[in-house]
Amino acid sequence: MKKEQELKNIVKERYARIAEQGKAENASSCCGKTTPSNKIYNIMMDDYSETNGYVEDANLGLGCGLPTQFAKIKIGNTVIDLGSGAGNDCFVARHETGVEGKVIGIDFTPIMIEKARINAEKLGYNNVEFREGDIDDMPVSNDIADVIVSNCVLNLVPNKQKVVEEIYRVLKPGGHFSVSDIVLVGNLPDALREDAEMYAGCVAGAIQKSDYLRLIEDKGFANIKVQKEKPITIPDDILSKYLSQDEVKTFNKGGTGIFSITVYAEKQGTMQEKPKVKLSEISTANTCTPANGCC
């Protein structure tokens, strides 16, 4: 497998190209991978069309779940979307947080940021902003978010532990996240696991489900729950680009499972309010009063 920065560059290039494609092209491929299957497969994506806040122009067909559906977003919350793409999950989150709240989308692909900003401007959403940056080094301050969502993005980042640490850093104490992602049960064939393009297509970058959940637990998150889980089947005509016919048969009969999961977890603690100072506790040592003779 290539080095971390090489993988990031491959993903950035691939998703810049995806931003210029149509939704149908993206949905017909493996999580946005640009070499399509022979048939039109909606391999990973869930249907957003009935979701409040859904914006057709902002949906590039790249997700693997509906994290906002499970994210328990409240009016007035500050929400961060990791890997925000053209903005669809941000706009859904904005419907939940209302005009009183704030939504920040983070993406490291400049053309995605541009598309998202154009969409937000068309909609007149002044409380939704998009920042260019890596989700393993977020361009936001500590303890700023009530809720973090992400849709099929963490599997694209080589250093997943660093992303989990960043999520913990930017969440307020008592805040939580709901993240949809791709995970494995069993081992992928080497040809899939080592292929950089398959990495950009979401599958080869996935880690074991148990390891994924352990990263979250080890960081200190509480109330960890798998809110939704669904199996993902890679069509044979995509597998055949990497495996022989016999290997495809073996893979399909084997014990390897590829799953989309939506995981919820909470950062423990509560925000500490600054203590209110009573008037009787305010020092009068330097205050001009008749008692000290300065007035």
- Give the chain's domains with CATH numbers: 4-265 (3.40.50.150)
103 and 93 Cβ atoms separated by less than 8 Å: yes
pLDDT at residue 110 in the model: 92
pLDDT at residue 290 in the model: 43
Residue pLDDT tens, the chain, 295 long: 467 777 777 666 776 777 676 555 544 444 444 444 433 234 566 666 667 776 776 676 677 788 999 999 999 999 999 999 889 999 999 999 999 999 999 999 999 999 999 999 999 999 999 999 999 999 999 999 999 999 988 988 889 999 999 999 999 999 999 999 999 998 888 888 776 666 556 676 889 999 999 999 999 999 999 999 998 888 888 888 888 999 889 888 888 888 999 999 999 987 554 444 333 443 333 444 444 444 4
pLDDT at residue 193 in the model: 76
Question: Which long-range contacts link 246-255 to residues 24+ away (Cβ below 8 Å)?
Answer: 247/189, 247/191, 251/189, 254/186, 255/185, 255/186
62 and 27 Cβ atoms separated by less than 8 Å: no
pLDDT at residue 285 in the model: 37
Which of 122, 167, 121, 135 lies closest to 148, judged by CA? 167
| Burial bucket for residue 265 (CB in 10 Å: 0-12, 13-18, 19+) | buried
Those residues whose C-beta lies under 8 Å from the C-beta of residue 87, and which sit 6 or more positions away, are 55, 58, 105, 115, 116, 119, 120, 128, 130
171 and 148 Cβ atoms separated by less than 8 Å: yes
Q: Mind giving me the DSSP string for 113-160? A: HHHHHHHHHHHT-TTEEEEES-TTS-SS-TT-EEEEEEES-GGG-S-H
pLDDT at residue 233 in the model: 83
166, containing H or E segment: helix 160-170
